[in-house]
Amino acid sequence: MTDHDSPQKIRAEAIESLLIDKGLLSAADVDAVITTYTDRVGPMNGAQLVAKAWIDPKFKAQLLSDATSVVNAFGFEGGQVDKLVVKACSPQDHHVVVCTLCSCYPWAVLGLPPAWYKDPAYRSRIVQEPRLVLSEMGLSLPSETRIHVWDSSAEIRYLVLPERPAGSEGLSESELAALVSRDSMIGVARVMI
């Protein structure tokens, strides 16, 4: 069976058509969702914060002490950041974020979460064997680096501030932002140059 006729797709379209009949939903609502989360809300917003923090120590200090005010000032849309907390990686400390109970994720700064973040394998394992899971995902951490796992169990949302890569000294803020991957801000990858 292809995705085109999965029972879930059919049931979704049955409910959609009933909601349209009752005037509770329109096709434009669906297009608006796609446009918002494809074009305007995504990891490029978080990457902007990371790049600025790398070049501006005062901004970095603000981000680490009160990320919520910083994000509110940027006016990102997308929601899911009533309170944002940013955790900075260093050679001593590595941070990684999960939501074991559902799939909480800071939409306004990272967009909608990738499939693996929402799947049972990541949600079940990252809280019991993070070093192994990270190495399977391509991030091998030195044994002396302490791992901190953040399970987003309430409305606080977490963003990881990755380490600035060596060799990036001459780059501009926008060039730096282009290097910052979504995965590095969840804490499952380094930023590579």
Partner 1 sequence: MDGIHDLGGKSGFGRVNHVGEEPVFKARWHAKVFAMVNAAARAGAYQSVDQFRHAVERIHSEAYLNHGYYGRWLGGVETLLVEAGLLSTVEISRRALKLGADNDDLVAAQPQASMPKEGGIPAGPELEQPKFSLGDRVRSSNLTPVGHTRLPCYARDKTGEITALHDRWPYPDAQAHGIDAPPQFLYTVTFDSAALGFPESFALNLDLFEPYLTIVESD
Shortest gap between Cβ of 60 and partner 1 (angstroms)? 19
User: 57-65 and 43-55 are packed helices; what angle lies between their axes, rounded to 10 degrees?
Assistant: 130
d(CA 142, CA 84): 28
Residue with tokens 């901004």: 59
Please indicate whether residue 104 is annotated as part of the active site: yes
- DSSP characters for 93-112? EEEEEE-SSS----HHHH-S
Shortest gap between Cβ of 56 and partner 1 (angstroms)? 25
Q: Coil, strand or helix: which one is 177?
A: helix
Q: Of 17, 26, 65, 102, which residue is the catalytic one?
A: 102
The residue type of 187 is G
Please indicate whether residue 102 is annotated as part of the active site: yes
Tell me which residues touch partner 1 (CB under 8 A). Answer: 3, 5, 7-19, 22, 24-25, 29-30, 32-34, 37-38, 42, 83, 85, 98, 100-103, 111-112, 114-116, 118-125, 127-133, 136-138, 146-156, 188
Identify which of residues 133 and 177 has a Cβ nearer to partner 1 in the complex. Answer: 133
Identify which of residues 77 and 119 has a Cβ nearer to partner 1 in the complex. Answer: 119
Q: Coil, strand or helix: which one is 146?
A: strand
Shortest gap between Cβ of 125 and partner 1 (angstroms)? 7
Tokens of 78: 């997308």
d(CA 76, CA 87): 19
Identify which of residues 52 and 104 has a Cβ nearer to partner 1 in the complex. Answer: 104
Identify which of residues 52 and 187 has a Cβ nearer to partner 1 in the complex. Answer: 187
| Nearest residue to 110 via CA among 90, 84, 89 | 84
Shortest gap between Cβ of 40 and partner 1 (angstroms)? 11
Residue with tokens 């969840």: 186
Tokens of 58: 């005062």
> Annotated catalytic sites, by residue?
99, 102-104
